[in-house]
Amino acid sequence: MTTHETCSIGSCKLGAVPRAVAIIDGPLALDKIKTIEELGADMLEVRVDCFEDGIDGVCEYIASTRRACSLPLIGTIRETARTRNNRSALFAKIIPLVDAVDIEIAAAIAPAIIAMSAGKTVIVSEHDFERTPGSAELEAIARRAAALGGHIVKIAAMAHEREDVVRLLEFTHRCPLPAVAFSMGEYGAISRVMSMLFGSLFSYGYVTKANAPGQLPLNKLVEELRMYYPEVVPQSPNRG
């Protein structure tokens, strides 16, 4: 598969070994975080926009999580009615506490968030819940992500037929920028595992509930990665 071995998030090297990201969309008990680490997650994505606590409480939780486990953290704040007017300020609070940030390519605040994230890994993301873009559109998304200063381009697109999945996987294989890509929906579920054969760096597994159509539970994702990728082993020494 295509690899980008110089790319990393915190201590987690990306490219040579498919990685599993556990989605934390609410304050889990710290012993549960340790269980997630032992299960085989390589990183945690903290979905700040899903937390009901205020940002100071979320920051305290992130700091406690860092002390409780060794997994790198991705900080994500999607635009919602609650975050729409203060996302930049929220990002400013969490950036010192995480190893990477995820910001949408179309967000007006993207350039400012990327500049604010100097020294961190930046994931520039595109989510299309209606369709899978054509090949030229996918390539344009990657070019725009690179122009913005993103280190990783992430594309999640709805698949209505197998050809949509194939097109996204083919794009992933030839993408010049380190990429995370997968299809959503019933047809796209297979890409949550297969995309890494085409060069996608990691996949997301949910802990409490699915955040997108076709998303796998973390334990199932880890099980599938260990089944189909011999380089994925329990407590992989390549994490650091």
Q: Which tokens sit at 116?
A: 């604010």
Residue labelled with tokens 């999945």: 165
Angle between helices 135-148 and 162-174 (to 10 degrees): 40
Query: Across the chain, how many H-helices and E-strands are there?
Result: 8, 11
Task: Tell which residue, 71, 19, 81, 85, has the closest CA to residue 50.
Answer: 81
Helices (H), the chain: 30-39, 55-68, 87-94, 110-116, 135-148, 162-174, 191-194, 218-228
235's torsion region: left (phi>0), alpha (psi -120 to 50) or beta? left
Angle between helices 55-68 and 30-39 (to 10 degrees): 50
The residues carrying an active-site annotation are 127, 154
Cα 134 to chain center, whole Å? 22
CA angle 59, 13, 122 (to 5 degrees): 50
